[in-house]
Amino acid sequence: MSLSKSIIFSAIQPSGQLTLGNYIGTISHWMHMQDIYHCIYSIADLHAITVNQNKKLFRKNIFDTLALYLAVGVNPKKSIIFLQSEVQEHCQLNWILNCHTHFGELMRMTQFKKKSKVNSSNINIGLFNYPILMAADILLYQSHKVLVGKDQMQHVELVRDIAKRLNFLYGHIVTVPEVYIPNINGAKIMALLNPNNKMSKSDNNINNVIFLLDNHESILKKITRSVTDSDNKIFYDIKNKPGISNLLNIYSSLTGISIAVLENMLMNTTYKHFKLLVAQSISEKLLQLQEQFYYFKNKKNYLRDILDFGACVAKKQAKKTMKKIYNVLGL
């Protein structure tokens, strides 16, 4: 890596089919980052096993996620793309960071609280430990920026605290990363039937979620049924009109038109017609993406080669950081 560009890190768990939230919040920005930063894009499979996975489906989701990375324009010649479990240093650093993170800090994490409620029969230590593994992912590569959606902001704040603690104790050994949210309107896309909850790939109700591989009929059906309100006026008001505000966020993110301009443009439009416009804009984007996805999905050897190469390059950088850390700890 040359020193002229900053390092940006971003990752997605292959815990299901990727959603419109994942797309708008993160991967739609990845291609453009490649000319500005050294980009490191990981498939966070170790994070995904905090929830029980079906082995066959899990393998499929891992390679589908990779094909989607390529479909959005991530270029393996420009960016490092790798599978988290294939770089063992993530687990190695995870243990060291466990010993530098306080129980109380993890107890404050809202994602843990939410996920514990949803997975009440399997509140495992991995679920609790999740942000520390995330810290390892980020700090191993001396990342300057972490590209995430809003839901991950609290975790990145914790990563910063851990990094500062390490540097305070041992001298400057890791880069303190900054959170990077490229588009604030798309930083938290909400569930369609319950716009007070985040759209998530593991949602039990598929009607809450637009999946990146949904077809037009399904998109239209889900958007048409999405929960709004009864006053039939289109303007942004997250508190009183969460459904309409969510649709405005989606539409604005996909078209690049600001919310203020949209409010003007849609002043005399009915909800019914607005929903059609939103569905149309999603379908147009996803259709292009799906064409590329199916093209890459069938290139099995190519996908495997990308992961092998990515792991090799990532390992080199990861080993450097581990050496530094082992050294200061006296290990």
Residue type, 76: P
Among 17, 152, 245, 246, binds ligand AQP (CB under 6 A): 152
Cβ atoms of 136 and 162 within 8 Å: the answer is no
Cβ atoms of 97 and 135 within 8 Å: the answer is yes
Set 115, 222, 241, 297: catalytic member? 115
- Rounded Cα–Cα distance for residues 85 and 106 (Å): 23
Asked about 115 being catalytic, the answer comes back as yes
Residue 202 touches ligand AQP, criterion: CB under 6 A? yes
Q: Minimum Å distance from CB 10 to ligand AQP?
A: 7
Beta carbons within 8 Å of 303's beta carbon, 6+ residues apart:
63, 66, 67, 296, 297
- Rounded Cα–Cα distance for residues 253 and 28 (Å): 10
Asked about 198 being catalytic, the answer comes back as yes
Residue 68 touches ligand AQP, criterion: CB under 6 A? no
Q: Provide the mask over 101-140, with x wherever binding to ligand AQP is found by CB under 6 A and - wherever it is not.
A: ----------------------------------------
Set 198, 241, 285, 297: catalytic member? 198
C-alpha atoms less than 13 angstroms from C-alpha of 85 in its C-beta half-sphere: 9
Residue 198 touches ligand AQP, criterion: CB under 6 A? yes
| Binding piece for ligand AQP, criterion CB under 6 A, among 102-110, 200-208, 213-221, 276-284 | 200-208
- Rounded Cα–Cα distance for residues 111 and 52 (Å): 17
Tokens 């930083």 correspond to 187
- Rounded Cα–Cα distance for residues 73 and 75 (Å): 6
Residue 242 touches ligand AQP, criterion: CB under 6 A? no
Cβ atoms of 250 and 189 within 8 Å: the answer is yes
Q: Minimum Å distance from CB 9 to ligand AQP?
A: 10
Tokens 């590569």 correspond to 141
Cβ atoms of 156 and 177 within 8 Å: the answer is yes
Q: In this chain, which residue has its C-beta nearest to ligand AQP? A: 25
Q: Minimum Å distance from CB 221 to ligand AQP?
A: 19
Q: Minimum Å distance from CB 180 to ligand AQP?
A: 10
The binding site for ligand AQP (CB under 6 A) comprises 12-13, 15-16, 19, 21-22, 24-26, 44, 148-149, 151-152, 187-189, 198-202
Residues with catalytic roles: 115, 198, 201
